[in-house]
Amino acid sequence: MMTSKGSNKSIASVVTGGAGFLGSHLCDRLLAEGQYVICIDNLITGETSNIAHLLGHEHFRFINHDITNYIFIDETVNNVLHFASPASPIDYLKLPIQTLKVGSLGTHKALGLAKAKGARFLLASTSEVYGDPQVHPQPESYWGNVNPIGYRGVYDEAKRFSEAMTMAYHRYHGVDTRIARIFNTYGPRMRINDGRAIPAFMSQALRGEDVTVFGDGSQTRSVCYVDDMIEGIYRLLMSDVVEPINIGNPDEIPIVQLAKEIIELTGSNSKIVFKELPEDDPKVRQPDISKARKLLMWAPKINRKEGLKRTLEYFRQKLLVPESVK
Ligand code: UDP
């Protein structure tokens, strides 16, 4: 399909969802490690602006493709990292079928590619596999509390299926697999309108609009800065750990407090308004990262204040310029 552009690449990685928030940061990291990167994305929630800086890079190739369909790659591939999926509640409410398809058919195709190439496979799984958890904090051994027919079920169940499929390919086909259970992550390249708490609060505060807290805001999340997350994922890829590993920052905070901190950081006059809590919104969430500490020797390093500052800088810039055209 493509010939080498004379690069001295030694390791080649395919990143599905490579134009998304996490996917594009992952492409950056793999390129920085000297790898050759093939980024696959159909741009339904990914954005070319996230990879625009990589398009001329001789070790980088972009393929506009929906990973739920068969893909042929006529090159050596050492790693397949499957990050394609709508990933915010608003996105998967809007795209329920696509979310189910990319988690099921897409994971099947990505695993098939890894098997055909003899490549290592890393699945971007999620804390949503724990649903609205009854065990707190959540260790990997917890099986979760998910409503299969609720609005969030399309994402949660697709990711649970992805994990099952990944383990089946590992056990039956001997594919070398990794499963990262990714907890809430934030940072530059999140979409302003993806509906998640941090971009929503930051853009509302920067525009001087009301900041919308759902429910009474007592529900908690534990937020991880993107650079820490990418380091954890890279370490997992390089490890020999097949079992699922939580990657996230245990720094837990009620959502209303997060909203207050963001308003204060922006220096905005915005007021908090309370809106209806979405269905099945988890009441608490905090990763138990003992395994990642022990097996990957990884722990997050960037504290919330610093992470929020860096992210705010990105949104300030972004709000001054029009959204990129896809
Ligand atoms: N949330 C909120 N206001 C918003 C967006 C989200 O209060 O404008 C809440 C949401 O109900 C949830 C938390 O913030 O309790 C985190 O939501 P997010 O969409 O960021 O991630 P997830 O629910 O998938 O963890």
Cα 197 to ligand 1 centroid, rounded to whole Å? 4
Please indicate whether residue 184, judged by its CB atom, sits closer than 6 Å to ligand 1: yes
Taking CA atoms only, the protein residue closest to ligand 1 atom 5 is: 197
Confidence of residue 9 (pLDDT cuts 50, 70, 90): low
Please indicate whether residue 188, judged by its CB atom, sits closer than 6 Å to ligand 1: no
Q: Where are the domains of the chain?
A: 12-318
User: Are 285 and 220 within 8 A, CB to CB?
Assistant: yes
Cα 108 to ligand 1 centroid, rounded to whole Å? 30
Average per-residue pLDDT for the chain? 94
Architecture field, domain 12-318: 3-Layer(aba) Sandwich (3.40)
Mind listing the pLDDT tens digit for each residue in 229-258?
A: 999 999 999 999 999 999 999 999 999 999
What atom of ligand 1 comes closest to residue 128's alpha carbon? 24
- The pLDDT of 20-47, averaged and rounded, is 98
**What pairs with residue 224 in β-bridges?**
185
- Considering the candidates 36, 92, 130, 155, report the single residue annotated as catalytic: 155
Taking CA atoms only, the protein residue closest to ligand 1 atom 14 is: 197
Q: Which of 43, 21, 68 is nearest to 227 (CA)?
A: 21
Cα 271 to ligand 1 centroid, rounded to whole Å? 17
What atom of ligand 1 comes closest to residue 200's alpha carbon? 8
Confidence of residue 326 (pLDDT cuts 50, 70, 90): very low
What atom of ligand 1 comes closest to residue 198's alpha carbon? 20
Phi/psi of residue 221, each to 5°? -140, 165
Tracing tokens 């056990």 back to the chain, one arrives at 171
Mind listing the pLDDT tens digit for each residue in 175-203?
A: 999 999 999 999 999 999 999 999 999 99
Please indicate whether residue 254, judged by its CB atom, sits closer than 6 Å to ligand 1: no
* Structural Rg of the chain based on CA atoms: 19
Please indicate whether residue 203, judged by its CB atom, sits closer than 6 Å to ligand 1: no
Q: Does residue 151 have an active-site annotation? A: no
pLDDT at residue 321 greater than cutoff 80? no
